[in-house]
């Protein structure tokens, strides 16, 4: 929900959001891709810090606390999953994570 709500909030009208999922060996892989505002390298380095929000009007014009992603990342890691982020400013972002399948 956090990744999809971020994709929706930080993608201007007319953009696209794609959600993909795959069963992988011992894990489920889920990716949320958007064609939104993206993040710079400097912003990506801050992502995950509690209460951090990019200093970008496309972001600050939307409501948010800057906590959702930090909580999401912690929950995934607590369940032995892993999360990756790829992003380019003005082009979009892809957030992907795996979660192990219970035996």
Ligand X SMILES: Nc1ncnc2c1ncn2[C@@H]1O[C@H](COP(=O)(O)OP(=O)(O)OP(=O)(O)O)[C@@H](O)[C@H]1O
Q: Does 86 bind ligand X (CB under 6 A)?
A: no
Helix residue ranges per DSSP H, the chain: 2-9, 41-46, 57-60, 68-78
Q: Does 65 bind ligand X (CB under 6 A)?
A: yes
Contact stretch for ligand X (CB under 6 A) within 20-28, 64-72, 76-84: 64-72
User: CA-to-CA distance for 50 and 28, rounded, in angstroms?
Assistant: 27
Closest to Mg ion by CB, 59 vs 98, is 59
The residue written with tokens 């993608």 in the block is 11
Q: CA geometry: angle at 4 spanning 56 and 31, to 5°?
A: 110
Least Cβ distance, residue 78 to ligand X (angstroms) = 17
Least Cβ distance, residue 98 to Mg ion (angstroms) = 21
Q: Which residues bind Mg ion (CB under 5 A)?
A: 6, 68
């Amino acid at each position: 929900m956090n990744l999809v709500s971020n994709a929706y909030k930080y993608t201007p009208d007319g953009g696209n959001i794609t959600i993909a999922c795959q069963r992988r060996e011992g894990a489920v892989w889920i990716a949320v891709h958007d064609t939104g505002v993206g993040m710079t390298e400097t912003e990506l380095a801050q992502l995950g810090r509690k209460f951090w929000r990019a200093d970008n009007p496309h972001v600050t014009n939307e409501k948010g606390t800057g906590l959702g992603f930090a909580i999401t990342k912690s929950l995934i890691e607590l369940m032995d999953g892993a999360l990756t982020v790829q992003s380019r400013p003005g082009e979009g972002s892809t957030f992907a994570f795996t979660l192990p399948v219970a035996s």
